[in-house]
Structure 1
Amino acid sequence: MGQFRDHARSYSARAAAYSVDLDHLAEGHTPPVMIITCSDARLVPALITGSRPGDLLELRTHGGTVPRFDKGSLPRSSARRPTRPPGTSMPRTTHR
């Protein structure tokens, strides 16, 4: 367990050594791609795709499954919430 803690504590220095600029992510983060994949620890989407911090929005689920969408199951307040994240170029839509 100590090796993971030590590795996490030294991340900033290692990222700087590899020219990974994390400062621009502090202002906001609107990745152009979302990847839905299995939560298995042996699968590392960044290694598979060659992405860098901020490039992907990762959703890790059991078996990479996505439940069927049933708009009748949304709470009324969620049903009117825009589905587009701020700062993206996708057209704004609303669940109805």
Structure 2
Amino acid sequence: MEKRTGCWLVSVFGPSTGYEPQWVNNFWGAFGRKKFIELASRPVFADIWLPLLVGCIAAFVSGLIAMHVLMRFVQNHRLDWFAWYRVVLAIAVLILL
């Protein structure tokens, strides 16, 4: 998925628009479905369909768990620590590059 798609979703369904964050999560499944249909139409897909299916299911389950944990955390905590974590991580990445 391109970064522009995420920017578009934030601009259309961001906090200032009044949409609930739980509702916006429903859009990500539609994007995954579109990409799956694109991959399924390729001839190489016949050789790798089982590993791809297992990987998709594992990614889906881990994504659901991550969204559940993150949504619960956001409902009960402020995001100050997350912001500082991102700043420290960005500085560390810049130093390592």
Taking structure 2 as the reference length, what is the TM-score of the superposition?
A: 0.23
Q: Which protein is richer in helix relative to its size?
A: 2
Q: Which has the higher contact order (CA 8 A, sep 6+)?
A: 1
Q: Which protein is richer in strand relative to its size?
A: 1
